[in-house]
Amino acid sequence: FQTTMDVAAEDSDQMPSGFHAKAAAKAARLRREAAKLASASALESPGGIESRPGEWAPTQSKLLRRVAVAARPGHFELSLQYGPYSVAYDTTGRLLALCGRGGHVAAFEWRQKRLMFESQVNEPCHALTWVGAGSTPQLAVAHSNWTYIYDAQGLELHCLKRLHKANKLFWLPRHWLLAACTDTGHLHWQDVSTGQTVASYCGHHGPLRVSALHPDSGCVLTGQPNGQLCIWTPLEKRPVVKMLCCPAGVRAVATAPAGHAVYTLGGDSRLRVWDIRCLRPLSVSDSGADAASIRLFDAAPQLAVSQRGLLACPVRQGAALMVLPAGGAKPLLSHPSPGRLSDLAFCPWEDVLAFGHARGLGSVLVPGSGEPNPDGAVHPLSGKRQRREAEVRGLLDKLPPETIAPPAVGGGVNAVDAEGIEEALARKRAAVMALPSDEVRQFQPRRRSGKASGELNRKVGERWQRRRMELRQLLKSKKRVLAEMGDEGADAAGGRKTKKAKKVSQSGELTKPATGTFLDRLIPKAD
């Protein structure tokens, strides 16, 4: 006799009972799910371009013949007539928006080429950015005067008049803040969740047309015509850091999405890389005497940095696009532009670069630019429910503006002053809940001598009261005197009235009364 525990059969038909067959099927299903999870969690290696010595950078036609079919939608070209255009991707890398100086605003899903909305606002648009990362994304567009927020259907939701003449808009997803730099030289931070203005300062250096956002710290960086790079936070009216980066004016600033590198392009056409933690230059070239900078001839004032550290910049006065690696000056990719380049933007989680120019919008493939492994946050493959949950989670975990600060000088980790925040809250709580002191409770307001004073009103009232009493006494005395005089005194006092009555009785006809009205004209006149 063989027991059921000794039976070892892979096929469920050979099992002695239904219980063992179900257990074997469940074990097989768990093994398949574990294998599937292990394959899904395996990290993918990022792509890249490997060029041999003496070879030219590959063109887009060569790349399209060698990339996968799923990556080919990243290469397209749109010819539009309301340029030059500015472009912006959302945090998931799924949506692409554009706005032109001619008032053209549009948003679409660039993979499926599905248009979300398109409108003509009939005024110049200078900058745009996506606000929020949930199931209902919103688009902030800087018009010629004010900043407007549109929904996914293109309907106007808000008009931010405080953000006046903005030329750069930045979205801080961890703090839910909308930062803006304006042509009037002001910096604004607007809380999107509550609608309140967190801070608004004047830069005192003219129009802030060169600016960038550091994603890790949330600070706003501005370039000045005197060559200084200023770092701003909502808590300080003055820049917390001033650093001389270029001997000439700063023409463009860009920051790495992951890391602490800051790229500056000066008026001398030199590209420099700085470490924002220790405020020191980093090497961008392995050869040459000046390893901290490289020369970019005829470079236009636009820069963009990808998640993997690739740098894109226009050359030949904006007529061509060049992509540089993180540790060298030899370009990896070059692409001509139909018009003068006006804006650059790398797509998150994808090897795609979008650029706006005077004649429309273009997108090219840049292998190795995007991060292939999402960090668990909202990514292009997330569904509508996941994006909605991420939006709620972001609102619950929203950081206060006090946490925006540059990294500590010397490479330290920026920490929040928890003790200082607790002391400030304790002071506010004590000021609200404190009881009035004995001096405050015993305080008596000083009486002022004026028209609105109670003492003056009291005196005036007493004076009129005395006058009324005097008039009453005079009337009483007059009546008493008339009563003592008798009928003669009464006739003498009322002779005029008696005469009028006798006159009316003798005539026997109606005459006008002493007091007339507008009906007196109807009374017949006496002959």
Q: Which residues make Cβ contacts (< 8 Å) with residue 160, sequence separation at least 6?
A: 140, 146, 147, 148, 149, 178, 190
Residue 134 binned pLDDT confidence (cut-offs 50, 70, 90): low
| Residue-wise burial string across 392-401, b where 16 or more C-beta atoms lie within 10 A, e elsewhere | eebeeebbeb
Half-sphere exposure of 419 (CA within 13 A, CB side): 0
Lowest mean pLDDT among 75-89, 178-192, 230-244, 291-305: 291-305
Residue 138 binned pLDDT confidence (cut-offs 50, 70, 90): very high
pLDDT, position 84: 93
Give me the torsion for CA of 259, 318, 230, 176, rounded to 10°. -60
Judged against a pLDDT cut of 90, whether residue 326 lies above it is answered with no
CB 525, CB 509: distance < 8 Å: no
pLDDT, position 68: 85
**Tokens encoding 468:** 């009324």
Q: What is the pLDDT of residues 329-388, one digit of tens each?
A: 678 888 998 888 999 999 998 999 999 999 999 999 999 888 887 776 666 777 788 888
Q: What is the pLDDT of residues 415-434, one digit of tens each?
A: 556 777 788 778 777 766 66
Neighbours of 214 (CB within 10 A): 23
Compute the distance between CA of residue 287 and CA of residue 213 in angstroms, rounded to an integer.
Answer: 30
In DSSP terms, 76 is beta-bridged to 363
Cα–Cα distances in angstroms (integers) from residue 238 to residues 203, 233, 359, 410, in the given order: 8, 9, 40, 22
> What average pLDDT score do residues 64-68 get?
87
Judged against a pLDDT cut of 70, whether residue 414 lies above it is answered with no
pLDDT, position 493: 46
- Mean pLDDT: which of 324-328, 437-441, 448-452 is highest? 324-328
Q: What is the pLDDT of residues 155-166, one digit of tens each?
A: 999 999 999 999
Helix (H/G/I), strand (E/B), else coil: 238: coil
Residue 365, burial from CB neighbour count under 10 angstroms (0-12, 13-18, 19+):
buried
pLDDT, position 473: 82
Using a pLDDT cut of 90, give the percent of the chain over it: 35
Q: What is the pLDDT of residues 2-16, one digit of tens each?
A: 333 344 444 445 555
- Looking at domain 90-209, its CATH superfamily turns out to be YVTN repeat-like/Quinoprotein amine dehydrogenase (2.130.10.10)
Crossing angle of helices 454-493/495-507, nearest 10°? 50
Evaluate the CA torsion angle 364, 104, 156, 184 in order and state its sign. Answer: positive
pLDDT, position 359: 92
pLDDT, position 373: 78
pLDDT, position 395: 87
Residue 446 binned pLDDT confidence (cut-offs 50, 70, 90): low
Q: What is the pLDDT of residues 100-125, one digit of tens each?
A: 999 999 999 999 999 999 999 999 99
**Tokens encoding 488:** 């003669």
> What average pLDDT score do residues 71-96 get?
92
pLDDT, position 323: 84
pLDDT, position 498: 43
Gap between the terminal Cα atoms of the chain: 155
The pTM of this model reads: 0.69
Neighbours of 404 (CB within 10 A): 26
